[in-house]
A = this chain, B = another copy of it.
Amino acid sequence: MPVEIERKFLLRDDSWHAQVERSEPMAQGYLVDAQALRAGLAHASVRVRVAGARAWLNIKAATLAIARAEFEYPIPPDEAQTMLVTLCNGVLEKTRHHVRVDGTLFEVDEFAGDNAGLVVAEVELSAVDAPFPRPPWLGREVSALARYYNVNLIAHPYRLWSPAERAAEDAAC
């Protein structure tokens, strides 16, 4: 079974900008609300993503763990766009920056719209405890915090977070 092992971090500062290889705009939505996952009425998140001229359907087990079963399939971008507009409850927009450090790829997501101001870095690993570089701009780990899940950022965007919810960010600066 394909398993995705991802760790997610806040950013301490903007110095990662100097290491960006390429950037790509992304729009994504979910066919299942975060509330259905929390209520146990769905066992996987189903994501529709358009990135540049391509699009994918992504299915990820609804467990709040670092390692999650994941399935991904390319789909026609026009069909993805129709699904985003007609079948999703809100669309998340962000720019994804590819930042390579000592051969390891970090994906830095800079959110827009109601999540403007939020920036997170993700690194994909081959094992939960695999070693990876720790550049000076890498801040606090938030892999286990559900409010940073993209699916949750649609229902409860960064703009509406309480000071307590933003405390992790402050601690990372």
Interface residues, chain A, CB within 8 Å of chain B?
A: 1-2, 31-33, 35-36, 39, 41-44, 46, 57, 59, 61, 69, 71, 73, 75, 79, 82-83, 86-89
Contact = CB atoms under 8 A, between A and B. Distances in A.
Nearest to A40: B33
Contacts of A39: 36, 41
A160 to B, nearest CB: 20
Nearest to A82: B1
Nearest to A48: B59
Contacts of A35: 41
A114 to B, nearest CB: 19
B44 A36 contact: no
